[in-house]
Amino acid sequence: MAIEFYKEFGEYGFLANYSPYGFYKNGIYYPTAEHYYQAEKFDDPVIQKKIICAETPRLASEIGRDRSLVRKNHFRDMKLKVMYDGVLEKFRQNPEIRSKLIETRNQEIREMTVKESYWGVGPEFDGENHMGKILMMVREQVKKEVLEEILNQAKDKKVYVIGHHHPDPDSVFSSLILTHILKSYGIDAVFAVRDDEFVEKKLIDDFLEEDYEVVDDYSDKAFILVDHNNLDGIPKENVLGALDHHIITNEVSNLIEIEYASCGLLLYDLFRESYDFSEEERKLIGLTVLSDTEYLVSSRFGLEDQKLYKDLNTSIDEKEYQKKYFETTDFSDTISHNFHKDYKEYHFHGYDIKRSLITSYHDGWEKNYSNYILEITNHDINLLIWCDYESRTTFVYYQGKEYIFPYFTTSTNLVLKYLEKERVL
């Protein structure tokens, strides 16, 4: 899906030249990228000053487009470069929108201006869209610069690459892989974890062949964060940067946070042009994807992720690994235990929802399912969501009635919305 913006309004208004993000260039402060672009059309310092001091970008543009004023020779040949330079400085010097631009991942950017077929998409939506193209180039450039900044700061230091507490496969393997990548740049990187109370321990134990360091004293060390991280006790000034697939770490500088299926997959996309991933590393990255997407079924596993996952070209047999490693409800535990293991209360349009989530593979699920349904009245539960991974079916049991959900999901919010649509709630 493309990112579309129209003028300086809406979610992506920050992409527009009129948006109020100023920057310095050659010692001069420009209130917007528009001011910069229009001023650059002229050699005459008086006109330039008039434009730079214009109260709004619209006024700057009006002066700049005044055909009675003499423009630079050959400005036409320079204008793309001028625009690129201004937009680049705007994003370089405003970290909050730099992060937002980076968050748009690799999506196409389109300026939806029907009056402009050169900078925008034009009346037939097939214009040259140079503004969108420049923004995409700037996005690549600032991403590169953030990475370079992290690498620069890491030079001559011992750097601990670390994920979240109770690390899962994505956290552990991302830390390991980024450690390898940093080492290839000559950086003294340490594969580290905050603790080794691993989640999905069996998967980690079976594939982890390297030693890690457990770090719980965060003073006097330099860190690079990966996966679901927040500072969580690490002094901000000790963090050189963060590469994460969730947009949460806003507190630190040198941030690359983009929604990807897993942090491992983000690392792969960021470095695949510059780092030669071994077969083993590709496999570990594949495992981070499996683990973070409930073995490729969750909606988080988007189209772009699917392409990248394919590109990894691993020898993983997803079905086999799912059976072996994916932890669904353990039916050797008591029904009562399982009902309360994944239990949550929701308040939805005045209804008190007490929901339990059970996950299974198809083998024998019917028998388990009917046993659990019989037991439900003995427990304080009114909504049971039962996800069967083999048949990818979601059964919803609410107040004595069963509904088969139209697609596979573990999301209670989606189920509640569905029940509302069906006029059950």
Interface positions with Mn ion (CB under 5 A)? 170, 227, 263, 292
- Shortest Å distance, C-beta 168 to Mn ion: 7
Give whichever of 170 and 294 is closer to Mn ion, judged by the CB atom: 170
- Shortest Å distance, C-beta 291 to Mn ion: 8
- Strand bridging mode 401-404 / 393-398: antiparallel
Tell me the residue number closest to Mn ion, measured at CB: 170
The single residue listed with the structure tokens 């071994």 is 278
Give whichever of 89 and 170 is closer to Mn ion, judged by the CB atom: 170
Give whichever of 178 and 263 is closer to Mn ion, judged by the CB atom: 263
Give whichever of 226 and 387 is closer to Mn ion, judged by the CB atom: 226
Give whichever of 39 and 265 is closer to Mn ion, judged by the CB atom: 265
Asked if residue 135 lies in contact with residue 109, where contact means CB atoms within 8 angstroms, the answer is yes
**3 state SS for 164-210:** CCCCCHHHHHHHHHHHHHHHHCCCEEEEEECCCCCCCHHHHHHHCCC
Q: Cα separation of 86 and 37, whole Å?
A: 7
Give whichever of 170 and 388 is closer to Mn ion, judged by the CB atom: 170
- Shortest Å distance, C-beta 258 to Mn ion: 12
- Shortest Å distance, C-beta 314 to Mn ion: 18
Give whichever of 12 and 295 is closer to Mn ion, judged by the CB atom: 295
Beta strands in 71-173 (DSSP E): 109-111, 158-162
3-class DSSP assignment, residue 283:
helix
- Shortest Å distance, C-beta 265 to Mn ion: 9
Give whichever of 256 and 353 is closer to Mn ion, judged by the CB atom: 256
Asked if residue 257 lies in contact with residue 244, where contact means CB atoms within 8 angstroms, the answer is yes
- Shortest Å distance, C-beta 393 to Mn ion: 26
- Shortest Å distance, C-beta 341 to Mn ion: 22
Residue 224, burial from CB neighbour count under 10 angstroms (0-12, 13-18, 19+): buried
The single residue listed with the structure tokens 């619209």 is 58
H helix count then E strand count, the chain: 15, 15
- Shortest Å distance, C-beta 301 to Mn ion: 12
Q: Cα separation of 24 and 35, whole Å?
A: 12
Give whichever of 382 and 411 is closer to Mn ion, judged by the CB atom: 411
The DSSP element (H or E) to which 384 belongs, if any, is strand 383-388
Q: Cα separation of 202 and 321, whole Å?
A: 11
- Shortest Å distance, C-beta 218 to Mn ion: 21
3-class DSSP assignment, residue 118:
coil
- Shortest Å distance, C-beta 369 to Mn ion: 30
Q: Quickly list DSSP for 10-48.
A: STTGGGSTTSS--EEETTEEESSHHHHHHHTT---HHHH
H runs (alpha helix) in 278-329? 279-292, 303-312, 318-325
Give whichever of 41 and 164 is closer to Mn ion, judged by the CB atom: 164
